[in-house]
């Protein structure tokens, strides 16, 4: 593989798509010290593909190929991936055949014969209760999302410096002021006091105060949009006379 520069940030936020029926998934956050082999195992649970046959490609925000993640022993952080890139999962086992074989007869299995095979996508979905075999899939998806959000929120501490990255908005620096549940909103949230008046509140939401800060400096953000790190507060010279 190419000799890519290793980046030091701990996590990367990526969009996920798959070759099967052009399915797209919500943005996911992965640690950069994850091996590509372990990443494929996680993507297996998300996409329903097989980690043994899938190939990964990274695309930029303008849909240009960045690289192929073809070294299973390499770390995710060794590839030139930034927040917002798209990881495309190509699974040769579940790909639709786009070749034209003319009038050549196609080999097809009956449903009974297909069900007897133990390494099919259908058996994987049934075993893990995914897709249409997942029963109340919406409830399971919500439960999994909240579990992931709680894990991320638990890793953040009040007082830590952070960067907030939300799609279609510039990055903002601030300080973590609250982590946990917000009444009336689903899942887990991070209360942030921005360095500049770029927020929407003063730490109070629906008449309940979660933290204190000046008006327009506070915001509540989903955990996967918050990166904790050494982000020094800039001096905006607010007291400088002109």
CATH number, position 176: 2.30.30.190
pLDDT at residue 130 in the model: 63
Q: How many domains does the chain have?
A: 2
Residue 59 lies in a domain: yes
Say if residue 23 is in the same domain as residue 98. Answer: yes
Contact 70, 78 (CB under 8 A): no
Residues 95 and 165 grouped into a single domain:
no
Parent domain of 93: 11-102
Last residue of a domain, one of 59, 75, 102: 102
pTM: 0.45
Instruction: Say if residue 18 is in the same domain as residue 87.
Output: yes
Contact 27, 13 (CB under 8 A): yes
pLDDT at 23: 52
Assess if residue 171 is contained within a domain: yes
Q: Examine the fold and report which residue of 40, 67, 102 is the final residue of a domain before the chain moves on.
A: 102
Residues 159 and 96 both lie in one domain: no
Is position 162 within any domain? Answer: yes
Query: Is there a domain that residue 16 lies in?
Result: yes
Q: Is residue 184 part of a domain?
A: yes
CB count, 10 Å around CB of 135? 9
Q: Would residue 107 count as lying in a domain?
A: no
Give buried/exposed letters for 104-131 (b at 16+ CB in 10 A, else e): eeeeeeeeeeeeeeeebbeebeeeeebe
Among residues 79, 102, 125, which one ends one of the domains? 102
For 203, counting Cβ atoms within 10 Å of its Cβ (0-12 exposed, 13-18 middle, 19+ buried), the class is buried
User: Which pLDDT value is given to residue 201?
Assistant: 96
Q: Burial, 46: exposed, middle or buried (Cβ in 10 Å; 0-12, 13-18, 19+)?
A: middle
Task: Report the DSSP beta bridge partners of residue 190.
Answer: 179, 221
165, 95: one domain: no
Give pLDDT, residue 111. 60
Could you tell me if residue 110 is inside a domain?
no
Q: Are residues 17 and 89 in the same domain?
A: yes
What is the chain's pLDDT, residue by residue, as a tens digit (242 residues)? Answer: 444 444 445 889 998 888 654 555 667 889 999 999 889 888 887 777 777 888 899 998 888 999 999 898 999 989 999 888 998 888 754 433 333 444 555 555 556 665 666 666 666 776 666 655 555 556 777 888 889 999 999 999 999 999 999 887 889 999 999 999 999 999 999 999 999 999 999 999 999 999 999 999 999 999 999 999 999 886 655 444 43
- Domain of residue 55, CATH code: 3.10.20.90
Task: Kindly compute the dihedral angle of the four CA atoms of residues 179, 181, 182, 183, in this order, to the nearest 10 degrees.
Answer: -160
Q: Say if 191 falls within a structural domain.
A: yes
């Amino acid at each position: 593989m190419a000799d890519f520069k290793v980046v030091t940030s701990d996590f990367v936020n990526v969009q996920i798509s798959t070759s099967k029926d052009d399915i797209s998934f919500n943005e996911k956050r992965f640690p950069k010290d994850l091996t590509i082999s372990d990443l494929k195992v996680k993507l297996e649970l998300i996409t329903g593909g097989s980690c043994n046959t899938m190939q990964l490609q990274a695309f930029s925000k303008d849909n240009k190929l960045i690289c192929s993640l073809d070294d299973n022993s390499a770390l995710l952080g060794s590839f030139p991936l930034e927040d917002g890139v798209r990881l495309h999962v190509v699974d040769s086992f579940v790909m639709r055949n786009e070749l034209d074989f003319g009038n050549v007869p196609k080999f097809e299995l009956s449903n009974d014969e297909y069900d007897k095979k133990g390494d099919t996508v259908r058996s994987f979905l049934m075993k893990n209760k995914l897709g249409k075999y997942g029963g109340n899939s919406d409830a399971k998806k919500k439960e999994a999302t909240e579990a992931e959000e709680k894990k991320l929120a638990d890793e953040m501490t009040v007082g830590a410096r952070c960067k907030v990255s939300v799609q279609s908005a510039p990055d903002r620096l601030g300080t973590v002021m609250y982590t946990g549940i917000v009444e009336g909103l689903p899942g887990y949230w991070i209360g942030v006091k921005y360095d500049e008046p770029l927020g929407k509140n003063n730490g109070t939401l629906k008449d309940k105060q979660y933290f204190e800060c000046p008006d327009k400096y506070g915001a509540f953000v989903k955990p996967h949009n918050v990166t904790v790190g050494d982000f020094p507060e800039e001096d905006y010279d607010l007291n400088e006379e002109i």
